[in-house]
Amino acid sequence: MLGLLIADKNMETRKQMANLLIKAGYDVTVTDSAVKAIQGVLKKTAQVVLLGTTLDDFTSVELIPLLKQCNRNLMIILIADDAPLPMIRKARTEGIFYHALRPAEPEDEEEIKQVVKCAMESLNRATYTRKALTH
């Protein structure tokens, strides 16, 4: 099963996302540490990352290229509702998979589940395609 990492400084957001995605059947790890997020990607325990706007002293825009250097196929879902538009644009150019707002209502949680499902399916398709091309 593909691993899912929730990396956010906000404890309530980590709990909310973890509960939501564990109930949806995903293998979830949570952290509030940039170092642990990078380790999770390097060790290949995380293929999809839900990333908040800051971790430790790093902004998400600083972390995204580092995470992508560790795994260029990494799917990063930026969870940010208070980020300025230039930051969102920069994150998109750095290669995020999706930008979502923090869920405020139960209906908003469905968006998160759908985007994670889509990221996982994209990874599975890409992995299958790479394997098919090498054989």
Report the CATH number that the domain containing residue 128 is assigned in CATH: 3.40.50.2300
Residue 51 phi, psi (nearest 5): -115, 130
Whole domain around residue 122: which residue ranges? 3-134
Q: Binning pLDDT at 50, 70 and 90, where does residue 125 land?
A: confident
Question: For residue 123, is pLDDT > 70?
Answer: yes
Cβ-contact 108, 81 below 8 angstroms: no
pLDDT of residue 75: 96
Q: Where are the beta strands (DSSP E) in 68-121?
A: 75-79, 98-100
Question: For residue 50, is pLDDT > 80?
Answer: yes
Q: Considering its fold, how many domains does the chain have in total?
A: 1
Three-state DSSP class for 47?
coil
pLDDT tens digits, one per residue of 76-102 = 999 998 888 999 999 999 999 999 999
**What number is the average pLDDT over the span 57-67?**
95
Burial 21-37 (b: 16+ CB within 10 A, else e): beeeebebbbbbebebb
Identify which of 80, 75, 29 has the alpha carbon closest to the alpha carbon of residue 67: 75
